[in-house]
Amino acid sequence: MELLQLLCSTLLVLNLSLLMHAQQLDHVSPLKTFPVFHRNQFVGVQPSRVMPSISKPTVFPAFGGTPYTVGATVSATSTKPEAEEEIAADPLDDSMLVAAISDFSLRGGFNTTKCSLSANNGSTWKQAFIPRNGAGLPLTSDGASWQANSDPVVAIDRVGNYYIADLYIKINSSGNATNDGFYVTRGNLSTGTTTTAANTKPVLTHL
């Protein structure tokens, strides 16, 4: 029993000694026994232990080299209004460009895709609408005519073919869409903007 009392007394004295030592380490709060950051200094340690100052960020030199200028605006087409412009560059000659644009100048404003081609990095352009029938309606290889086509996307392969993908839409007299299809028109850079209905193939159609 006396041995147990002696052990308890020893532990109590040791705990009090540790608490007093912790209070000496931290002059701000007796409950803190670990350092905390405060204004680039440690609170709870000797004043001589100051955090190193944060170095200033490195300032890199400005861009150099010969400045370039932006030329005048060049329009790829001559009709308006237009929207949904897409452009692609020949992977073998980036000065050869093909653009596809939704044009609203025909048939009272129904959109019709126009193809434009530049062989001099966009300085000048040649333009033409996608294949149409005698009434001016977009025409596809399956013999269907459409009141509108929309959302063109253009790409060029490595052998000089370009592809214009479009949604084609049939619209009734009330202005409501009654049918649609997804078609791709293939042209060739050597023949410019000339494309044919025979080369406007269906990918998906609901005819």
Strand spans (E) along the chain: 36-38, 41-43, 82-90, 93-103, 112-118, 126-129, 148-156, 161-171, 177-188, 200-205
> Does 76 map to a domain?
no
Q: Is 20 helix (H, G, I), strand (E, B) or coil?
A: helix
Residue 113 backbone dihedrals phi, psi, to 5 degrees = -70, 135
DSSP category for residue 53:
P
User: Are 93 and 168 in the same domain?
Assistant: yes
pLDDT band at 50 (very low <50, low <70, confident <90, very high): low
pLDDT score of 104: 96
Average pLDDT score over the chain: 83
pTM value is: 0.66
User: Are 110 and 166 in the same domain?
Assistant: yes
User: Are 26 and 124 in the same domain?
Assistant: no
User: Are 118 and 197 in the same domain?
Assistant: yes
> Does 62 map to a domain?
no
pLDDT score of 29: 47
> Does 70 map to a domain?
no
pLDDT score of 72: 86
User: Are 104 and 40 in the same domain?
Assistant: no
User: Are 138 and 194 in the same domain?
Assistant: yes
User: Are 27 and 125 in the same domain?
Assistant: no
pLDDT in tens, 135-144: 999 999 999 9
Alpha-carbon Rg for the chain in angstroms = 38
User: Are 37 and 102 in the same domain?
Assistant: no
pLDDT in tens, 167-200: 999 999 998 999 999 999 999 999 999 999 999 9
CA dihedral sign of residues 156, 158, 160, 161: negative
- Given a cut of 50, is residue 38 above it in pLDDT? no
CB atoms within 10 A of CB 155: 15
> Does 167 map to a domain?
yes
Domain housing 42:
19-47
pLDDT in tens, 53-110: 777 888 888 777 887 788 888 999 999 999 999 999 999 999 999 999 999 999 999 9
pLDDT score of 4: 52
Question: Which of 141, 113, 139 has its CA nearest to residue 127?
Answer: 113
Between 6-10, 118-122, 126-130, the lowest mean confidence (pLDDT) is in 6-10
User: Are 88 and 38 in the same domain?
Assistant: no
User: Are 95 and 188 in the same domain?
Assistant: yes
pLDDT score of 7: 54
> Does 77 map to a domain?
no
User: Are 92 and 43 in the same domain?
Assistant: no
Length of the chain in terms of residues written = 207
Q: Into how many domains does the chain fold? A: 2
> Does 126 map to a domain?
yes
- Amino acid symbol at 163: Y
Tokens of 64: 């150099």
pLDDT score of 15: 55
> Does 61 map to a domain?
no
- Given a cut of 70, is residue 150 above it in pLDDT? yes
Instruction: Find how far residue 197's CA is from the centre of its chain.
Output: 33
Between 9-18, 24-33, 45-54, the lowest mean confidence (pLDDT) is in 24-33
> Does 86 map to a domain?
yes
Tokens of 207: 């005819």
CB atoms within 10 A of CB 87: 14
User: Are 122 and 25 in the same domain?
Assistant: no
Tokens of 54: 């944060």
| Strand order through the sheet with 112-118 | 82-90, 93-103, 112-118, 126-129
pLDDT score of 32: 46
| CB 87 within 8 Å of CB 97 | yes
Question: Which of 146, 163, 143 has its CA nearest to residue 154?
Answer: 163
